[in-house]
Amino acid sequence: MNENIYISILLAAIATYICRASGVIFSNKLSVNSELFEIIRCISIGIIVAVIFHIIFYPKGILASTSIQSRSSAVIVCIGCFFIFKKNILLCTIISTLSFFLLNYLNY
């Protein structure tokens, strides 16, 4: 059994470093403004939106005990802050977290 764990760790490390090494090798040959990067950017944004949608409308755990109004209001505040404060992600995260906390605190 112990041998299987070590083999699994070794295979995972090899797979990880192969991906990293290929990224370093091909990074000089790829342009950030290419169509491939545009497709990758669109796919990654779509995945992020899907995860946020799932968290808001189908929460699990302790988040399920909060109201959908407070969750959706916090997201709206976050998006508004994102454009008001010139895409400052840290400030937007802090403000939307505080608004989510206050909305839940005032609800009870």
pLDDT for res 30: 77
| Residue pLDDT, tens place only, 29-63 | 777 788 888 998 899 999 999 998 998 999 999 98
Residues 6+ apart with CB under 8 A from 23: none
Domain chopping of the chain, boundaries: 1-30, 31-106
| Residue pLDDT, tens place only, 68-78 | 999 999 999 99
Query: Using 50, 70 and 90 to split pLDDT, how confident is the model at 108?
Result: low
- What is the C-alpha to C-alpha distance for residues 66 and 56, in angstroms, rounded to an integer? 10
Query: Using 50, 70 and 90 to split pLDDT, how confident is the model at 92?
Result: very high
